[in-house]
Amino acid sequence: MTADIHIFDDTRDEEFMHLAIGVAAKSREAGDHPFGAILVGPDGAVLIEQGNAFSAHGSDMTAHAERVLATRASQTYSAKFLNSCTMFTSAEPCAMCAGAAYWAGIGRIVYGQSEAALKDLTGDHSENPTLDMPCREVLASGQRVVVVKGPFLADEASKLQEGFWMTADRGL
């Protein structure tokens, strides 16, 4: 299955990444993991915002912002339409989230902090046993092209994680 290659307008990438980082900040403020994602349509409209839902979904280890966004997107829009959309996310999608974006049909991913940098920061935290595999590798295994840009605004995105994963700060 090959899909049309879309030319994506990247002139607003910084604006949209700031929105995704803002969603992650709201997630953290609400007591959840500090990750956020938004889905932007081909016309530049923000279609979906999604923070991490680990706590909101009853300690669901699969409730990553990107995975939940991809599920909601695939339930709402056709894969053909999603192929012309961009997911902006505060951190690089893990293998599970990259797979979910692929299966939903999302055509482009722009991420902030890399998965490797996240692993260096969080260590072996029980709520985030980072799966350090670049999303480009996961997506390159597919039968359709998904455009990936990142790390992008990585320093700003990584600030969301500062102090969060420390046991004393989490009350664990």
Q: Answer yes or no: 127 catalytic.
A: no
Alpha-carbon distance of 50 to 66, in angstroms, equals 7
Catalytic residue (one of 66, 115, 156, 162): 66
User: Strand pairing of 86-91 and 108-113?
Assistant: parallel
By three-state DSSP, how is residue 86 classified? strand
Looking at beta carbons, which pairs linking 40-48 to residues 24 or more positions away fall under 8 Å?
40/16, 40/85, 40/86, 40/87, 40/88, 41/81, 41/84, 41/85, 42/6, 42/84, 42/85, 44/9, 44/12, 46/16, 46/19, 47/73, 47/76, 47/77, 47/85, 48/72, 48/73, 48/76
Residues designated catalytic: 66
